[in-house]
Structure 1
């Protein structure tokens, strides 16, 4: 789910103050990649003008990892 966010902070590339906030899941280790387990979650902030993106890691629960493994 993505949403437009207005911020007091400015984009370091172009100075814009509007960002699109989203989420992305990634595999961290080789074993996680082999078994398709996305064990790292990041919140993303993408500048609505120049598309510069920053990633911030969010802790994930082990239960979510197991559920993701079985559901795929």
Structure 2
């Protein structure tokens, strides 16, 4: 799959970070951060996309961002 660049600005300079977020109900009440995501972001314009860490492999996340 060829990299097309950021959907917003066309830049091919991207980064990624892992983040965890609380859910709803008891997990929110006790601040249990059981929802884990990988955020891929454009270093030029800041456009970001979240990918579920459990269902995404790190090898294809940048390809998904640029497709």
TM-score under structure 2 normalisation? Answer: 0.71
Identify the structure with the greater strand proportion.
Answer: 1
Identify which of structures 1 and 2 has the higher relative contact order when contacts are C-alpha pairs closer than 8 Å and 6+ apart. Answer: 2
Q: Structure 1 residue 9: deviation in Å?
A: 3.8
4+ runs deviating over 2 angstroms: none
Q: Unpaired runs of 5+ in structure 1?
A: 1-6, 60-72
The residue aligned with 1:26 is 21
The residue aligned with 1:65 is none
Give the structure with higher Rg (CA): 1
TM-score under structure 1 normalisation? Answer: 0.67
Q: Unpaired runs of 5+ in structure 2?
A: 55-67
1:51 aligns with 2:62: no
After superposition, the C-alpha distances for 1:11-43 in whole angstroms (9 at most, x for unaligned) are: 110001111110110011221111110010000
* C-alpha distance in 2 between matches for 1:54 and 1:11: 11
